[in-house]
Amino acid sequence: MVSKPRYALIADDIRARISSGDYAPGDQLPTKAQLMEQWGAALNTVARAITELQNEGLVETFHGVGSFVQTPSPAQAEEAEGDEVAQLRARVEQLEGMCARIEQLEALMMEVFSNLGLAYPSAPNTTDATSREAM
């Protein structure tokens, strides 16, 4: 397996921190010296990682001041929202499949209980707040 170059690992880490909100729009990134120390990397390696993030529109650098997280453009924000919506839809489909499987299992259990001449136990009403308070 081919490992990524160190500059790409640094850029990936910063990108992930931006995505997670650890670095919010307007936040200053660690200085190049701090990143060099943190990653044990050369100045050119850190500079290349920052340049990659600049080219992606995630970071803006001001000479002598530092690098800052940019506010995403409307297109970038829309793309990120689209990705989140797609992930949520996939999760809903997963949950729907799980619910269908649970219903199938419950039907099988009811059949087993019936074949054994037993009454299938009903689940307690867990949504009734008054019954929980009475306990």
CATH of the domain at 19: 1.10.10.10
Which residue segment(s) compose the domain that 62 sits in?
6-69
Task: Report the number of distinct structural domains present in the chain.
Answer: 2
Of 69, 84, 107, the position where a domain reaches its end is 69
Residue 133 within a domain = no
Of 69, 96, 114, the position where a domain reaches its end is 69
Residue 129 within a domain = no
Q: One digit per residue, pLDDT tens: the chain, 135 residues?
A: 678 999 999 999 999 999 888 999 999 999 999 999 999 999 999 999 999 999 998 999 999 999 999 987 566 666 666 777 788 888 999 999 999 999 999 999 999 999 999 988 886 665 555 544 544
Note the pTM of the prediction, 2 decimals: 0.54
DSSP labels, the chain: -PPPPHHHHHHHHHHHHHHHTSS-TTPBPPPHHHHHHHHT--HHHHHHHHHHHHHTTSEEEETTTEEEEPPPPHHHHHHHHHHHHHHHHHHHHHHHHHHHHHHHHHHHHHHHHHHTT-PPPPPP-TT-HHHHHH-
Residue 131 within a domain = no
